[in-house]
Chain A
């Protein structure tokens, strides 16, 4: 990926010039890589930009539950350092599941706001503080003005802000088409899990749609869901998997989980 950038020095200088014009040239832009080459190579800078606002929504029924979207965000937050602020209006996060993607309950402070207005106010406050690893907020409506405020707050402090778009009705989910100031926009949909040679549910898989990326291109990825450290993994096609039966064994955490489960 880095090699690819070096191949296009003209493009890089142009980007630097634009960023200087936008007024944040002096600060080195840092990113949080996913560790999956397909995804990181599509994102400008090689990862999820810190000091920026990102939007995540669930696809299909998950637009209402945000189970996959929530797990995806928890995985991202788990890979940051410092405390994580999680702002909700109705609390249905099951804390043990956050722990299973590496986000410890000791790190996560929940805020239960009474309205969307309060959510946005707390979100901005959290982003402005700058000492948090990530700020996650579950919001339904996110106007251009509100998102611009959040983006500015994130830019000034360098915090990572993630807005989980979660609606109460399926019809409201069309709101996701409205423009906002967020840097990237993702949609996470569940896919059938990795087939196992034995009865049971394999590692969950997601379809990650990068719907919008500032200074980048849209893309779709099929990934295996977050592991115990919050990392995604690229999907290996079934044919390859059959050819390489040791794929599961390659991943140490998966292996320990299985032995633990066998013992339990």
Chain B
């Protein structure tokens, strides 16, 4: 894909086969291309340019940026000094960059990549002359069209621009005409600027370092309203909140709280943060506190239902947040039905505030209150093929069965697992002479050996 300066001096070019390059230079360093990472890097760079040079900056994938510097160049002493400054700064960061100012995005794109000089200012009206001698690749056309044009013997922009449009459009589609017009400024092309995603952030410096928990709590109480005001202006609520405490010995303590839904409530956020104060080690004191809404989401005000008609359900999301920050988000859940006859697969855990499911468990048969995590083998005696056991021994206690319901036959889920093709279980609800009720099953149908071991297991306890 790409080679650095040292490799270029050795005679390697993009497009050289890897095997050949390695044969020539065995200690060559090869790295896989990471387009996603490149794009993120470019976006970061775009934000930096937006901060320093001009407000409208966009990523010109895969390897460039486009800036609309109209009205911004005078701040940097004119167009040429601005370009020199940009290239110089990029060189300082370890990049070789080319910069061109032209009338249009298309022209600047072409000249920056295929022009002879690294820094150029193309005056208005000179663009067509500068473009005429450049290869077709400069026009941002798809490779298939470039190949097709090459078979026609066209390899430069000048001759292409002079050709009649209609046959080209007929053969290659509208792209050629559009790109030519964009390059020559006959039709406009909008630049969609990158958006700054800087989080809402408030901070406070202290003249004297602070350390007491009460003091920290007091300043949290002062920072949170400012943050909420900032969030309110953007119409956002916080999902993740970071409090950074810079200590005098230049170490940083951090508290992070997360919420299940976007929150902008001063009291709730203050409370969530204050509960974590005990985890802070203030050391010799804290000289700066920064509160950052590191993850924010849009939050709309919702109209509440008039209490005349619908009974309003109390919002418990604040409680869920408080508990989740104490025991962890994964320890807070609801059970949701799963369509499976096997008891241990018939439920799953969903987040506490997940949208309510419409399915429910069937209630043909009573289900035990407690389901053992692992069915426990018991010794039992039962008449074959499908009578309940007469007695069973569980955890060393022999229990005589007085009455029983069953069998409820559950088949293995062969569509999930080949081994379950022939498996089945016969569930019985039994009551012993003392009145205790259990859920037993036999692994197998009591007739065919391939359906299971025919052993008995205790799977649940009824109330």
**Residues of A participating in the B interface, judged by any CB pair closer than 8 Å:** 60-62, 65-72, 74, 81-83, 85, 92-100, 104-106, 108-114, 118, 121-122, 125-126, 129, 131-132, 188, 190-193, 196, 199-202, 204-206, 225, 228, 257, 260-261, 264
Q: Measured between C-beta atoms, what is the minimum distance from A90 to chain B in Å?
A: 8
Count of B interface residues, CB-CB < 8 Å: 54
Q: Measured between C-beta atoms, what is the minimum distance from A115 to chain B in Å?
A: 10
A97 partner, pick from B334, B369, B435, beta carbons under 8 A: B369
Knowing A97-B367, A205-B435 are in contact, say whether A129-B333 is a contact too (CB < 8 A). no
Complex Cα gap A71–B347 (Å): 18
User: Which residues of B have CB within 8 Å of A62?
Assistant: 436, 463
**Residues of B participating in the A interface, judged by any CB pair closer than 8 Å:** 311, 313-316, 318-320, 322-323, 326-327, 331-337, 343, 346-347, 352, 356-357, 360-361, 363-373, 402-405, 429-431, 433-437, 460-463
Knowing A67-B461, A100-B363 are in contact, say whether A94-B323 is a contact too (CB < 8 A). no
B316 partner, pick from A129, A200, A260, beta carbons under 8 A: A129
Q: Measured between C-beta atoms, what is the minimum distance from A10 to chain B in Å?
A: 40
Q: Measured between C-beta atoms, what is the minimum distance from A99 to chain B in Å?
A: 6
Complex Cα gap A81–B312 (Å): 11
Q: Measured between C-beta atoms, what is the minimum distance from B137 to chain A in Å?
A: 60
Tell me whether B435 and A113 are in contact (CB under 8 A). Answer: no
Tell me whether B314 and A193 are in contact (CB under 8 A). Answer: no
Tell me whether B332 and A111 are in contact (CB under 8 A). Answer: yes
User: Which residues of B have CB within 8 Å of A81?
Assistant: 311
Complex Cα gap A62–B435 (Å): 11
Tell me whether A94 and B460 are in contact (CB under 8 A). Answer: yes
Q: Measured between C-beta atoms, what is the minimum distance from A260 to chain B in Å?
A: 6
User: Which residues of A have CB within 8 Å of B337?
Assistant: 95-96, 105
Knowing A200-B405, A264-B364 are in contact, say whether A125-B327 is a contact too (CB < 8 A). no
Q: Measured between C-beta atoms, what is the minimum distance from A192 to chain B in Å?
A: 4
Complex Cα gap A195–B357 (Å): 38
Tell me whether B347 and A65 are in contact (CB under 8 A). Answer: no
A-B contact pairs, 12 of them (CB 8 A): A62-B463, A66-B370, A68-B463, A94-B369, A97-B367, A97-B463, A99-B363, A104-B360, A105-B336, A105-B360, A132-B314, A193-B431
Tell me whether A96 and B327 are in contact (CB under 8 A). Answer: no
Tell me whether B327 and A99 are in contact (CB under 8 A). Answer: no
User: Which residues of B have CB within 8 Å of A228?
Assistant: 363
Q: Measured between C-beta atoms, what is the minimum distance from B395 to chain A in Å?
A: 9
Q: A106-B357, A125-B326 are in contact. List 12 more A-B contacts (CB 8 A).
A: A65-B461, A66-B369, A95-B335, A95-B361, A105-B336, A126-B323, A129-B316, A129-B319, A190-B436, A201-B405, A205-B435, A264-B364
Q: Which residue of A lies closest to B311 (CB)?
A: A81
A111 partner, pick from B327, B360, B366, B403, beta carbons under 8 A: B327
Q: Which residue of B lies closest to A191 (CB)?
A: B435
Knowing A109-B320, A125-B319 are in contact, say whether A261-B365 is a contact too (CB < 8 A). yes
User: Which residues of A have CB within 8 Å of B327?
Assistant: 111-114, 118, 122
Knowing A122-B327, A126-B319 are in contact, say whether A260-B364 is a contact too (CB < 8 A). yes
Tell me whether B366 and A100 are in contact (CB under 8 A). Answer: yes
Tell me whether A110 and B313 are in contact (CB under 8 A). Answer: no
Complex Cα gap A191–B463 (Å): 10
B404 partner, pick from A82, A85, A200, A205, beta carbons under 8 A: A200
Complex Cα gap A70–B367 (Å): 13
User: Which residues of A have CB within 8 Å of B371?
Assistant: 92-94
Tell me whether B347 and A96 are in contact (CB under 8 A). Answer: yes
Complex Cα gap A81–B368 (Å): 24
Tell me whether A105 and B334 are in contact (CB under 8 A). Answer: yes
Q: Measured between C-beta atoms, what is the minimum distance from A69 to chain B in Å?
A: 7
User: Which residues of A have CB within 8 Å of B318?
Assistant: 129
User: Which residues of A have CB within 8 Å of B372?
Assistant: 92
Tell me whether A94 and B430 are in contact (CB under 8 A). Answer: no
Tell me whether B370 and A118 are in contact (CB under 8 A). Answer: no
Complex Cα gap A192–B333 (Å): 35
Knowing A82-B314, A106-B357, A111-B327 are in contact, say whether A125-B322 is a contact too (CB < 8 A). yes
Knowing A100-B366, A109-B334, A122-B327 are in contact, say whether A190-B315 is a contact too (CB < 8 A). no
Complex Cα gap A98–B371 (Å): 12
User: Which residues of B have CB within 8 Å of A129?
Assistant: 316, 318-319
Knowing A67-B461, A96-B346, A132-B319 are in contact, say whether A192-B402 is a contact too (CB < 8 A). yes
Complex Cα gap A137–B356 (Å): 23
Complex Cα gap A48–B87 (Å): 78
Q: Which residue of A lies closest to B317 (CB)?
A: A131
Complex Cα gap A210–B460 (Å): 27
Complex Cα gap A192–B401 (Å): 11
User: Which residues of A have CB within 8 Å of B367?
Assistant: 94, 96-97, 100
User: Which residues of B have CB within 8 Å of A105?
Assistant: 334-337, 347, 360
A193 partner, pick from B334, B357, B437, beta carbons under 8 A: B437
Q: Which residue of B lies closest to A206 (CB)?
A: B463
User: Which residues of A have CB within 8 Å of B366?
Assistant: 97, 100
User: Which residues of A have CB within 8 Å of B315?
Assistant: 131
User: Which residues of A have CB within 8 Å of B462?
Assistant: 67, 71, 204
A65 partner, pick from B323, B361, B370, B429, beta carbons under 8 A: B370
Q: Which residue of A lies closest to B358 (CB)?
A: A106
Most buried by B among A104, A105, A260: A105
User: Which residues of A have CB within 8 Å of B313?
Assistant: 82-83
A94 partner, pick from B360, B370, B434, beta carbons under 8 A: B370
